[in-house]
Amino acid sequence: MAMIQPSFSFSHEFTYDVFLSFRGTDTRNNFTGNFYKALCDGGVRTFIDDRELHGGDEISPSLVKAIEESRIFILVFSINYASSSFCLDELVHILHCFKANGCLVLPIFYDVEPSNVRHQTGSYGEALAKHEERFQNNSEKDKNNNMERLHKWKMALNHAANLSGYHFNPRNNGYEYEFIQQIVRFISNQINRVPLHVVDYPVGLQRQVLKVYSLLDVRSNDEVKVVGIYGPGGMGKTTLAKAVYNFIADQFECVCFLHNVRENSTKHGLEHLQNDLLSQTVGFEFKLRNSSEGISTIKQRLQRKKVLLILDDVDELKQLQALVGGLDWFSVGSRVIITTRDKHLLASHGIDVTYEIRELNKKEALELLRWKTFKGKQVNSSYEHVLKRAVNYASGLPLALEILGSNLFGKHIEEWNSLLDRYERIPNKGIQKILKVSFDALEEDEQSVFLDIACCYKGYHLKKMEDMLRAHYDGRCMKYHIGVLVEKSLVKICRLGNVTLHDLIEDMGKEIVRQESPKKPEKRSRLWSNKDIFKVLEENSVRLI
């Protein structure tokens, strides 16, 4: 069977990097002209419009097309911007694209106060009053249409003026050249962002990306949203978060992907993570003395910025409190994605929009394993049976399929069967290490209950299992212990009330018990293998409790 790499692209194709909206008579021959040249000199594909030179009363279809094919919009609000119906119609269409697609809109207030734009006072109030007076002289039908148009202009001006941007007064703010270079550097950073490497063969990923994208509701810019992705280790939470990041990063003013929060928090402390967050979003290093100072700095610096923040592998509430303490830390339109093994951690921080990552289905798992083991080459039909055996062993866990694929690459069928035989007896250490992180984070009683389930009670109805274990544990705590195991993504309660867990998580639990005494099963805390049980009973070496 020939292999074809799947099509997976979450990138947008744009004709222009930047669309400049400005009042030509105000700034074409000074600020905007210089700004346009600096952008072009920096390799930024920039659309600049000459519509006002050609007259007419409506924006042309070609201009609409240019707006829709642009990645970033820069609005140069100058003294007479609002006197142009062209500029105002253009602004309305730009903000329509902003709401529909979440593209970055960057206002520059050139020799005008942002409050004048926001509240339509000063020259902006005067210009809109003149438009209204002009519309009053229209026919009744045109008057109604134009008054609606006027209302849209006012709403658009208010909306745009509330976005994070730049303010420059040519009399007080120093050299215009330095101001222009500051913005050009920012734009260059935006368009030169390098996508994160996700995976070489992203089978099964697209459907999950689109589900998370739907939960994020990126097109809505009236609030901050936080989405939690949870599930066992090795299931692909980080991979999913990276793919979502690449899909939507262009729609944000600042982006930050904090990898391995659990590990880096332990090694370097919360201040290190806060510094990393600020460095990625603001653009320079801070010397934070403690996490409290970091909290104040993050809130102060990012409160008016539309941010995409991804916290990968979070395992403690204090990490969330230090990095994304409240929704008011960021501007409306911001999005935060958190990956964790612990669903309860998300609830503890008030995050109620969550996505439970799913294992690959059999078809996807088989496709991925074929790719990893044969690298796109023709697969001999004699391998079909052992491929399916390997897929059944992995039980849809992407990590297991990756490790199996690497270990089985270039091997003969006999070697495949031999390796799978060994893994079924003694699980792969790489898989075990990742899965065991959640177990190690449990309290002693919860670890014990988990091992009971993994070794002896998988498939039992929850109530029956609780009744059987009540004698060994405080009966009042059993529901709590089970709840913790569910929240940590170690066990699941099926719709009918049966307790189950992923096959490889079950193997991980059994291997923990086996390692208590690899050679002498009678010294282990639990027995589940008929062979071991018969051996121990025959030797009369078991002590019943």
Instruction: Tell me the DSSP string of 207-243.
Output: HHHHHHHHHHTTT--SS-EEEEEE--TTSSHHHHHHH
- In DSSP terms, 258 is beta-bridged to 311
Provide the token pair at 120: 């339509």
- Measured at the alpha carbon of residue 361, what is the angle toward residues 355 and 367, in degrees to the nearest 5? 125
Q: Residue holding tokens 């079950």?
A: 506
Please give the Cα distance from 467 to 20 (Å, whole number). Answer: 70
Q: What is the DSSP letter of 42?
A: T
Residues in the chain: 545
Q: How many CB atoms are located within 10 Å of the residue 375 CB?
A: 13
Query: Using an 8 Å Cβ cutoff, are 399 and 235 in contact?
Result: yes
Angle between helices 413-425 and 398-408 (to 10 degrees): 140
Residues carrying an active site annotation = 90
DSSP 8-state code for residue 284:
S
d(CA 455, CA 483): 19
Distance of CA 396 to the CA centre of its chain: 22
As given in the structure block, the two tokens for residue 304 are 């008016």
User: How far, in Å, are 240, 241, 333 from residue 220 at the CA level?
Assistant: 22, 20, 7
Which amino acid is residue 209, in one-letter code?
Answer: V
Tokens of 118: 């926001």
CB 74 within 8 A of CB 39: no
- Give the count of beta carbons closer than 10 Å to the beta carbon of residue 399: 20
Asked if 266 contacts 294 with a C-beta cutoff of 8 angstroms, the reply is: no
Tokens 């002289």 correspond to 137
- DSSP assignment of 446-464: HHHHHHHIIIIITT-BHHH
What's the distance, Cα to Cα, between the start and end of the chain in Å? Answer: 56
Read out DSSP for 24-68? HHHHTTTHHHHHHHHHHHTT--EEE--GGGS--SS--HHHHHHHH
Q: By three-state DSSP, how is residue 11 classified? A: coil
Pick from 373, 377, 432, 426: which is nearest to 400 by CA?
432
3-state secondary structure of 20: strand
Q: Which helix (H) or strand (E) holds 354?
A: strand 354-356
Residue that the structure tokens 């992907």 belong to: 257
In angstroms, rounded to a whole number, what is the distance separating the alpha carbons of residues 323 and 33?
A: 41
